[in-house]
Amino acid sequence: MTRSDNNRKGRPSKNTKGGNQQKPFRKHFSTKAKQADPQKKSNPDEIRLNRYIANAGICSRREADTYIAAGNVTVNGKPVTEMGYKVKRSDDVRFDGKKLSLEKKEYILLNKPKNFITTTSDEKGRRTVMELVSSASKARLMPVGRLDRNTTGLLLFTNDGDLTKKLTHPKHGVRKIYHVHLDQSLSLADLHKIEAGLELEDGPIEVDSISFIQGAPKKELGIEIHSGRNRIVRRIFEHLGYQVTKLDRVIFAGLTKKDLPRGHWRHLTEQEVINLKNIK
pLDDT digits (tens, 9 = 90+) for 40-97: 556 767 899 998 888 776 777 888 999 999 999 999 999 999 999 999 988 999 999 9
Confidence at 27, pLDDT banded by 50, 70, 90: very low
10 Å CB burial of residue 194 (0-12, 13-18, 19+) is buried
Alpha carbon distance 104, 270 (integer Å): 14
Instruction: Write out the catalytic residue numbers.
Output: 148
- Across 102-106, 155-159, 234-238, least confident range: 102-106
pLDDT computed for residue 36 by the predictor:
44
Q: Among 3-7, 92-96, 220-224, where is mean pLDDT lowest?
A: 3-7
Does residue 8 surpass a pLDDT of 80?
Answer: no
Give the pLDDT score at 32: 46
Of the two residues 276 and 8, the one the predictor is more confident about is: 276
Question: Alpha-carbon torsion 14, 18, 19, 21, what sign?
Answer: positive
CB 154 within 8 Å of CB 258: no
Q: Are 272 and 167 in contact (CB under 8 A)?
A: no
Contacts of 177 (CB under 8 A, 6+ apart): 222, 223, 224, 249, 250, 251
**What CA–CA distance (Å, rounded) separates 143 from 136?**
13
Q: How far is 49 from 76, CA to CA, in rounded Å?
A: 12
**Between these two residues, 23 and 246, which has the higher pLDDT value?**
246
- pTM above the 0.75 mark? no
